[in-house]
């Protein structure tokens, strides 16, 4: 059964957001691409994939006003995306999809494929794209990759939480949030042997997910996206320039 609810994280950094400043707006979710703010594009993609109930998590009044005009519910952001996600899931319930407001290129077909391919037995499903798939369509885009023995993967900011057990994964996310750009520090939490195996290139993605599942008390599964652009978000001014350069942006 597909979820009919989604959570869109649109919090703000405590410091000035370089992308928002670069674009001259109060929040990067308001940056327009082809005449539509990024938040509107994300909400439109979710709705196009059949998600009927959408909640935006943001404390920015302009973002909140836009979300309400788009008939989305609004919740205040917390201190950091993981806590915002936790409070949002507690308020909205499961099953649901989580994504971010800077997922500027998000397309209904990507969401539908993700939900079709998601494990029916996992509590949490995470969308990933292989480095080759990303670089084939975004050769100039710099991404963070998790390097495993069976390939290098980039996150796609798209998650499926099937039930309340998935909250364990969000609690773990809270504890590692500061290390999101340092993959080895995240792997270190799986244990010293796991860290060594990762550093010498012997750990597979399946092994990492198995250990992660034990650590958070929820079954976590990866879903491979064939769409390399699904890994592209707008986190830096260079990302915005890249997205604007695409003919389909």
**pLDDT given for residue 14 in this prediction:** 74
**pLDDT given for residue 12 in this prediction:** 82
Per DSSP, 27 falls in state S
**pLDDT given for residue 197 in this prediction:** 61
Alpha-carbon gap, residue 122 to 57, rounded angstroms: 25
Cβ atoms 187, 102 nearer than 8 A? no
**pLDDT given for residue 178 in this prediction:** 57
Q: Which helix (H) or strand (E) holds 120?
A: none
Query: Going residue by residue through the chain (249 aa), what tens digit of pLDDT does each one get?
Result: 789 999 999 988 777 899 999 999 999 999 999 999 999 999 999 999 999 999 999 999 999 999 999 999 999 999 888 899 999 999 999 999 999 999 999 999 999 999 999 999 999 999 999 999 999 999 877 888 888 998 999 999 999 999 999 999 998 887 776 555 555 566 666 565 555 566 556 788 998 899 889 888 999 999 999 999 999 999 999 999 999 998 865
Taking only Cα atoms into account, the Rg of the chain, rounded to an integer number of angstroms, comes to 17
Cβ atoms 245, 239 nearer than 8 A? no
Beta carbons within 10 angstroms of residue 14's beta carbon? 8
In order of 36, 128, 184, 246, the CA distances from 195 in angstroms are: 43, 21, 7, 38
Report pTM.
0.90
**pLDDT given for residue 2 in this prediction:** 85
Alpha-carbon gap, residue 97 to 2, rounded angstroms: 10
Considering only CA atoms, which of 193, 190, 194, 249 is closest in space to residue 220? 190
Considering only CA atoms, which of 172, 92, 78 is closest in space to residue 124? 172
Cβ atoms 207, 112 nearer than 8 A? no
Could you tell me how many helices (H) and strands (E) the chain has, helices first? Answer: 11, 10
**pLDDT given for residue 1 in this prediction:** 73
Alpha-carbon gap, residue 132 to 186, rounded angstroms: 23
**pLDDT given for residue 38 in this prediction:** 98
Alpha-carbon gap, residue 9 to 32, rounded angstroms: 18
In order of 55, 58, 192, the CA distances from 91 in angstroms are: 10, 14, 36
Q: Where do the domains of the chain lie?
A: 5-245
**pLDDT given for residue 79 in this prediction:** 85
Q: Domain 5-245, what fold? A: Spore Coat Polysaccharide Biosynthesis Protein SpsA; Chain A (3.90.550)
């Amino acid at each position: 059964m597909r979820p009919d609810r989604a959570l869109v994280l649109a919090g703000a950094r405590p410091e000035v957001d370089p992308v928002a400043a670069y674009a001259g707006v109060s929040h990067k979710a308001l940056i327009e691409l082809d005449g539509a703010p990024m938040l509107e594009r994300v909400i439109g993609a979710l709705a196009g994939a059949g998600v009927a109930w959408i909640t935006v998590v943001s404390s920015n009044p302009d973002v909140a006003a836009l979300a309400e005009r788009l008939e989305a519910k609004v919740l205040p952001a917390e201190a950091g995306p993981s806590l915002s996600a936790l409070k949002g899931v507690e308020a909205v319930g499961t099953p649901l999809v989580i994504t971010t407001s800077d997922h500027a290129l998000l397309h209904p077909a990507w969401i539908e494929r993700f939900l079709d391919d998601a494990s029916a037995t996992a509590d949490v499903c995470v969308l990933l794209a292989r480095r080759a798939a990303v670089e084939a369509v975004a050769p100039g885009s710099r991404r963070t990759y998790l390097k495993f023995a069976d390939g290098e993967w980039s996150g796609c900011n798209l998650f499926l939480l099937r039930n309340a057990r998935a909250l364990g994964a969000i609690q773990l996310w809270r504890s590692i949030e500061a290390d999101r750009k340092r993959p080895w520090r995240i792997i270190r939490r799986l244990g010293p042997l796991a860290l060594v195996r990762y550093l010498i290139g012997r750990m597979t993605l399946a092994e990492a997910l198995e250990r992660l599942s034990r650590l958070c008390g929820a079954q976590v599964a990866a879903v491979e996206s064939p769409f390399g652009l699904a890994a592209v978000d707008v986190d830096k001014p260079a990302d915005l320039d890249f997205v604007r350069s695409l003919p389909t942006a």
